[in-house]
Amino acid sequence: MEELNLKDLLNYYLKKIPIIVAITLLFLILGYVYIEKIQIPMYHGTTTIILVEKQDEDVSSDVTSNELLINEKLVATYSQIVKSRRVLDQVIDDLKLKDTVNELAERIEVTSVSETSIIKITVSDRSNKRAVRIVNEIADVFKNEVTEIYNLENVSVVDEAIVEDSPYNVNVIKQMLIFALVGIVLSCGIIFVMFYFDNTIKSKNEIEDKLKLAVLGEIPTAKKLTKNKRNLKRKKKISNEDIRAKDIENKAFDNIDNDINLKKDIKDDTVNEELSDNKTKKVATKKKTTTKKTTTKKATTKNKKDEGEE
């Protein structure tokens, strides 16, 4: 069997702490769901009875040791009578219970206090008030049945049952601690199995120990960036992208402005050319008109001169 390196095992556990925490939290959640949604709260109803021989007025009231010894022997017998069908049938009829004799007997616990003639009767039930009614009724019916069976009135009730406020089977703190411990133990066991069956080589020392080869060199691993460094890097990247986007946007606007200006220049040039053409045309028209008038005047003058000569 391969020897385990406790230092490596401890380092492996430290690396797997998130797994331990996750499994423990999972068991705590499961425990809370079990306590609140699944577990049925049960209540106890407890009464105590004592076996005492009834004394006549003429007889001394001191209880002898023989009587105590007899009563102690009767405790075992009386404990069986408490859970007998004769007693429980009458209890079910008196309280109108829906339970059968066997179901009710399973929820009854009869114990005797050591070195005494005291019998403790305990009944468990989902309802704290119903548990009290059942156990008090059992004590009364048992007392009457013993009187009929043995013709003795040696049973007396010491303490009647009282209503309990909290269930006996629910202890939130204790149960949550148990679930947490189970989660920790289970997660540690899983991690130990993972470590034991992990055959990968993690350092150069393992290569030298397992393969008996000398390591000539190693490539260092890149250190992981911390969360703050990653955030700063992301912010820088985002800011650079924003700057680039703004530059592109500004260039686009500049191009649009240049196009608009170019169109305006072209339009102005066209208008100026049209205006110059119109002016040229007007000048040419004026010249033509002036020439025509001059020619007409000259022709008229010449005609007048010719008429005068004739």
Query: What residues does each domain of the chain span?
Result: 6-37+170-210, 40-159, 222-310
Instruction: Report the predicted TM-score, pTM, of the whole model to 2 decimal places.
Output: 0.56
pLDDT in tens, 236-273: 666 666 777 777 767 766 666 666 766 666 666 666 66
Q: pLDDT at position 167, please? A: 92
Q: pLDDT at position 21, please? A: 94
Which residue carries 């009829």 as its tokens?
93
Residue 182 CA from chain centroid, whole number: 18
Write the CB contacts of 310 (distance below 8 Å, at least 6 apart in sequence): none
pLDDT in tens, 76-119: 788 888 888 999 999 999 999 888 999 999 999 988 877 777 88
Nearest to 202 by CA among 8, 40, 51: 8
Fold type of domain 40-159:
Alpha-Beta Plaits (3.30.70)
| Torsion angle, alpha carbons of 69, 71, 72, 78, to 10 | 160
pLDDT in tens, 43-81: 999 999 887 755 544 444 444 556 556 656 677 788 888
- Percent over 90 (pLDDT), the chain: 32
Q: Which has more pLDDT, 232 or 223?
A: 232
Q: Sheet containing 108-112: give its strands across.
A: 108-112, 118-125, 43-51, 155-159
Q: pLDDT at position 12, please? A: 86
